[in-house]
Amino acid sequence: KARLAILLSGRGSNMLSLVQATQTGVLQGLAEVVVVFSNKPDAPGLELAVAQGYPVASLPSQGRKREAFDAEAAELLQQYHPDFVVLAGYMRILSPAFIQPFAGRILNIHPADTHQHQGLHAYEWAFDNQLAETKITVHLVDEGLDTGPILAQETVDLRGADTLAEVERRGLAVEHHLYAQVLADLIINKQKRSC
């Protein structure tokens, strides 16, 4: 099974959907979550992971220099030997110190088309601009802000979504199934290549 390290900074709904996919969904038999890591020791998502019985780890990033923090975080995560590092609401730009050890194996989910909107507040952006649709993007992570190669995108229909909460609700529903599916496809393709 592919070993997943899931990184989060907040709520953890994507982490939870990935965990569930490994238990009873598209990742069942394909992947296991070996650690849930956060740069915020009090992230609600960490508590959710503990409640699910998963190993968690955290290192506070506040007040730390990016390179030093990233090097330490990468070292900590390497102890879990992840095949994939899965960013799920991990609100940090990663420096080479973090990316190098996991190059090509770090995934992110971004709640917009990364060609159109990068960084924070993507649902607010879609709502404020009254978009009729937006996109959820799963991409490989490089050193830019939401610039890495796109693995998959799925459109979210926003017609009639007249509150930000409704925009988010529709978007998250797509995030939750898309992320697990993209990972499953990646893992299956990797298995085929190594046969």
| Candidate list 45, 98, 99, 153; residue touching ligand GAR; CB under 6 A | 45
- The answer to whether the annotation marks 170 as part of a ligand binding site is no
- The answer to whether the annotation marks 61 as part of a ligand binding site is no
Which pair of tokens denotes residue 51? 């409640």
- The answer to whether the annotation marks 91 as part of a ligand binding site is yes
Residue in this structure with the two tokens 């490994």, named with its chain if needed: 22
Cα(27)–Cα(178) distance, rounded to whole angstroms?
A: 12
How far is C-alpha 7 from the chain's CA centre? 7
Query: Does 70 help bind ligand GAR (rule: CB under 6 A)?
Result: no
Query: Does 33 help bind ligand GAR (rule: CB under 6 A)?
Result: no
Q: Where are the alpha helices (DSSP H) in the chain?
A: 13-24, 44-51, 66-78, 96-99, 122-128, 164-193
Query: Does 184 help bind ligand GAR (rule: CB under 6 A)?
Result: no
Is residue 110 flagged as an active site residue? yes
Query: Does 122 help bind ligand GAR (rule: CB under 6 A)?
Result: yes
DSSP label of 129: T
Counting every residue written for the chain, the total comes to 195
Least distance CB 87 / ligand GAR (angstroms)? 7
Binding segment for ligand GAR among 8-16, 19-27, 64-72, 75-83 (CB under 6 A)?
Answer: 8-16
| Candidate list 2, 88, 161, 174; residue touching ligand GAR; CB under 6 A | 88
Least distance CB 121 / ligand GAR (angstroms)? 8
What is the SS3 assignment for 37?
strand
Indicate which residues carry an active-site annotation. Answer: 110
